[in-house]
Structure 1
Amino acid sequence: MTILNTRNLSLEEVQRLFGFQEQYIESFSPLLSLELLTELEQQELLQIRDDFRRYLTSGKVSEGQVKFLVVAPLLRLAGFYRYPIEIRLEEDIADIEVEDEDLIIKGRFDILAVSKAKHTKPQVYFWVLLIESKNSQIDISTGLSQLLTYAYKSIDNQKSVWGLTTNGRSYQFVYIQQGNPPIYHLMPELNLMERERSMQLLQVLKAICQL
């Protein structure tokens, strides 16, 4: 039996092992209802962006700094710190066994938001949003293989889950659906450093939180 860590899997391998098919959606509107931001939300968003920009100008921003400086305040602003949502950090996933490949996949997700008001089965909470973060110099697409591997476990218990890969500057939302084959939909890429895209970023996070 071969044991692999999710960090060592390519997107091509994940597609082959789990049967994922990729699709692209050009707008968030078919899946989410985006609400206008308040003046206070816009001001706080601008502060998050300015704080992060200061670190970017100094050079590489580490994965830990990305989580602390950008992801955490964005999640708070979007409402993810309020009941019934609970944030979980850096927990091991249950081993994924791929029998035909004589393979076991292990890994640890970065950030997971679950709803404590929803159960997919006893003692298993509904996954709301799964986040994979990278340092500021890594392309966000490199986190997609890990994100899909973790989400593959959740769609055993629920029909869909939202995912997000980010390096602090760029944000790639992914809508992952149960099926035969399972499908992941790539949404339009957003950017914290661009005013309109950053506002849409917060709107999307708020809409996912309110689902």
Structure 2
Amino acid sequence: MVTLKARKLKLEEVHSLLGYEPLLDGKFQEHLQLADLGQSDRLTLDEIRTNFFRYLNRAKISEGQARELSVSPLLRLAGYHRPPIYLEIEEEIDRIYIEDQDTHIVGRLDIVAVRNQLLAGRSPLWILVVESKNAEASEIVGVAQMLSYAYSSLERQQRVWGLVTNGLNYRFFYIAKEGVRLSYQYMPSFNLIDGDSAAVLLQVLKAIRDWEPD
């Protein structure tokens, strides 16, 4: 038996082991309804951007700093810290076993947002998987790890949102299961320093918060 760590996997290994198919050119409007931002949200977003930019100019931003200065404030602003959504931080993922290759995948997720089904009274499960890296690394570095974490969730629902970020750049993924077919679709990316891009990023986070999986 072979045991692999999710953070060490390459994207092509995730494709081979878990059977994911990559898709390009995703469009948010096919899945989400984006609402206009209020003035208060825009002012708070500007504060987050300004503070992150201050650190970005000063020195290298670590993975922990990227999460505290960018990811966590954005999730809070978008409403992910309020019921019925709960955040799980650096939790061990369910061990994934690939029977035909006698292989286990283990790891620790960065952030996962889960809707409490009893409080929500709506979907039985809802998940946003977030993987963050330091600001010098491309956000794409975290895709293989994020997909590994999302895999177990697809056993309980057919649609999951994923997000990889280095604090500066944000890339969402629409992850789906159709029968035995698994796919993940690259959605448009966002840059926190660009004001218009950051505003749409917040709109998307809010829309995913209220999203209802099929």
Place the TM-score, normalised by the shorter chain, in its bin.
over 0.9
Residue 122 of structure 1 corresponds to which residue in structure 2? none
**Equivalent runs, 1:90-109 vs 2, <5 Å:** 90-109=90-109
For 2:69 and 2:206, locate their aligned partners in 1 and report how far apart those are by CA, in whole Å.
Answer: 18
After superposition, where does 1:78-117 map in structure 2 within 5 Å?
78-117=78-117
Partners of 1:76 and 1:97 in 2: how far apart?
34
Give the paired residue count: 206
3-state SS in 2 of match to 1:69: helix
CA distance in structure 2 between the aligned counterparts of 1:25 and 1:208, rounded to whole angstroms? 18
Provide the C-alpha distance between the structure 2 equivalents of 1:151 and 1:184, rounded to a whole number of angstroms.
10
Deviations along 1:27-60, whole A, 9 cap, x unmatched? Answer: 3111110011011111100100000001101121
Return the alpha-carbon distance in structure 2 between the equivalents of residues 64 and 95 of structure 1. 25
Other structure's SS at 1:175 match: strand
1:151 paired to 2:145: no
- Report the TM-score, using the length of structure 2 for normalisation: 0.93
Runs of 4+ in 1 over 2 A off after TM superposition: none
2:153 counterpart of 1:130? no
Which residue of structure 1 aligns with residue 59 of structure 2?
Answer: 59
User: Is this contact kept in 2: 1:128–1:208, CA < 8 A?
Assistant: no
Query: Is the 1:143–1:165 contact (alpha carbons within 8 Å) kept by the matching residues of 2?
Result: yes
Aligned to 1:41: 41
Q: Partner of 1:162: helix, strand, or coil?
A: strand
Cα distance in 1, alignment partners of residues 140 and 86 from structure 2: 26
The secondary structure found in structure 1 opposite 2:29 is coil
Question: Following the alignment from structure 1 to structure 2, what is the Cα–Cα distance between the partners of residues 96 and 80?
Answer: 27
Q: Which amino acid aligns with 2:208?
A: I
In 2, Cα distance between equivalents of 1:107 and 1:126: 21
Residue 100 of structure 1 deviates from its aligned partner by 1.7
* 1:26–1:18 distance in 2 versus 1, CA, 3 Å: closer
Residue 200 of structure 1 is matched in structure 2 by: 200
| Number of the residue aligned with 1:20 | 20
Q: Secondary structure at the match of 2:28?
A: coil
Whether the aligned pair in 2 keeps the contact of 1:85 and 1:115 (CA below 8 Å) is yes
Letter in 2 for 1:149: S
Matched AA of 1:176 = I
* Corresponding residue of 2:70: 70
Alpha-carbon contact 1:115-1:127 (below 8 Å) kept: yes
Query: Retained in 1: the 8 A contact 2:26–2:185?
Result: no
142-151 or 22-31, which moves further after superposition? 22-31
Residues 88-127 of structure 1, C-alpha deviations (whole Å, 9 max, x = no match): 10000111111222211100000010011269xxxxx724
Tell me the SS of whatever aligns to 1:126: coil
